[in-house]
Structure 1
Amino acid sequence: TSTMIQFSWKPQGGTRDSPYRVHLWGGSREMKRSLNETSTAFENLLSDHEYQISVDVSTCSKNISTSLTVRTAADIFNGTTRITNEVFNPEYKNKSSTAFKDFETKFIKEIEKHLPQKILELIKGKKMRIVINSIENGSVIVDFDIVLDAGENITKTEISDAFTEALNMSTVLTADLKKTVIEARNSCQPGLNGCSQHATCAAEGASYSCQCNNGFTDSSPEVPGRVCQQKQNLPSQQMTTVLPKSATVRFTGSTGNSIFTTTFASEPCMPVSIKVQNVTGEAIQFSWTGGRRGSLYNISLMDGNREIKKTTTKEKKTVFKHLIPGHVYTVSVAVLFCAENSWTSVSVRTDPVSCFNRTEFCLQQNTGCPDLKYIICSHYQTFAGSVLLKSQTFNDMLYNSDSEGYKTMSESIKTEVVREMRIKLKDDHFDIIILGFRPGSVIADFISLLQKQEPIDVNVMQEYLSQVLKSKFGDQTEVTVQCK
């Protein structure tokens, strides 16, 4: 229904080592149960809300899991109005801001004050709610949804007339009725319906229907188009220790009170693909692709063998902040309900530039940039440098020190520089360490290490490095060196 998801699952062979663990997750709502039975129901849910449900169990010391995404039923009406006696506040752009929440409370309270008794009873009974989607400039333009439990006996005209009149009667908000529209929402827009990704959505008033595309079989014909499986004879998976190899699940469809049954199997866990988008001295921003529609993801940040941050999200991007400059971290992502718990990881060093700007870097009381301090302060003479390679083009793989692109670029620079600089300096122990790459075209940060006790002037070092790198990457190459 609009407020309940009821489902059951069917074990197929094997001996389980633990009770079934049933998990429902949606937004800030999370419910977990440990059961010996093979059915349950979650109640008091929000209408028109997308929930992820899973069933997992341990068998022969392995964790087997299967999951599905379900949207609860609702009829949705979308409203837009212009409030002329309010001044737009830029903080309205942020739905988490105090300004947005204060306006939302005032707007909803003022509308409810003038609604007819029939609609007020629906709101008080939690069968209808008002949700503000956005507040835009001009004076203040409010986009909102009226979310109604499916099956309630009220028409679009009644709702439109009631809310328009409530805005007209308000003494706190002055609404421009010529700019006020309330109509059935087109729920076939992406992310607003429960149709399978292999189904076609058709808007039907304030609701919608789904139909599986050609080439796909409908596994939930009572409420069509929610689970569409490709028509092909795939070899069955041999899972001799699996208990819930498949699960039979009953959900209330999002077009009414029909109950549909569908069977879904535990799919192989496909690893996600991580794209590092930006790296600063104190933050790593990244996104990822992979997983099924509606999947939840575990995100981990490791410092060596120590996990320092972990979170679960439905989003496909995040930022880890408050990091140490010039430090190597491992970022990992995995699909939450993946039976194999298959993680994808990248190793990223935060921008080291701020480390080199520190005065008296090797003093004991200077505790910043510990990775680089150990390297720099343990050699006779160290130069921190960067080279701008205008002939090269940056791509996000150069953030990941485990990638082939990073290794190839790093080796290309190091091999040429070390060979030529050892000749110029007459020092067979000269070496460089590539710390990482930054965009614009490609900027490589590095450390030059000398073990000869005779000091080398920083200007001489810069001149030698410039000669070597320009011969390799072209005359537009720019080198900057400073002694540490």
Structure 2
Amino acid sequence: MKALFMLGRLLLFISSIRSGSIIVDFNIATNTADNLTVSNVQQAFTSALTNSTTYTVDPTSYKFAVQNVCATANPCSVYASCISINGVASCQCLSGFNDTSPSAPGRTCVDINECAASTSPCSSLANCTNTIGSYQCQCLSGFNDTNPSVPGTTCTDINECAASTSPCSSLANCTNTIGSYQCQCYPGIQDGNPSNPGQQCIDPVTCFNSTTLCSSANTCLSNTGTICANKKVIPFGIKFNSWTFTTDLYNQSSAAYANLSAQFTGGVVSAVRVTLSDSTFNINVVGFRPGSVIAYFIGTTQSSTLDTSTIQAALLNAVSLLVSSNITNMITYGNTTPASSSDPYYGWRTAVIVIGVFLGVALLLGAVLAAVCNYTRRRSGRYKPGTW
């Protein structure tokens, strides 16, 4: 041991000297190449202390133990594990780190960017975020994580259209796509925000009432001018309890819409005309809506003597006989007087017409008078009085 000490291959460090009588704490460091064991060191130092002629040493105070070098002077990287074996530190880079100093293992450990690897550790439907010594996976928006134990490795598409609350308007079709969905207002329904389709679908039937039916602001009808040219315009609604609504009934160009409309504009119109003795009576179908199926239509006539209740009774009877008897009583939305009450320019237009008539008559009379005067002047110019 002395020879090793003299060669600098064995070092002794006194860490403290304490009272009682004197207690010396010291550390012994040896070269790993000499393969000294705790037993070798303990035997040599015990013998030397026991046989010392300089000090009287308490033989029961000897305590020799291998120091945990990892706890006192860890030489490893902070990203490495350290194991103390017989006072020697053994270092190894942690998982997720590359060892860039293989000659001195575990001294220099560099983070591995797993997300930059050719094969991502996450699902192709997930975001990969590199972290120190690891990574994180998170399923993309629109996908469910079906593995909680290893998030982001198994991501499945969410069918938003199958949710209890649809992300689209109630008047729109919802189509599921991979990671998202698409909304589109039903044919026949107006889209109030085409830049974000299917979210603000406007039902044109909502403006179907007597106060705005014949106004210029009405958007329900494309043929307002023709309808409101009649003397009596009556909006009606009737519910068919045994019918089932399908979305193609929103679309005026669909076969279902055309077939159902034909039952009103054909047989029902003919029957009501006979009942009322009114060949001018007609029906314009506005639309069909769910619940079970509600038909909205307008009854028109050029007759000024027929009252609304008479027309309603004739309609109800014809519908019950020719269309369906399982109906909820017809709703009348009120009688509309097409001209003065609904057209804000009616009075002005009437005044113009009256003035036009008077001007026409005046011009005609002026022309007649001018012709008479001209004729009289000609006759006067040719007359020669005789000699008395």
- Structure 2 length normalisation: TM-score? 0.42
- Structure 1 length normalisation: TM-score? 0.34
Higher strand share: 1
Larger Rg: 2
Higher helix share: 2
Bigger relative contact order, structure 1 or 2 (CA pairs below 8 A, ≥6 apart): 1
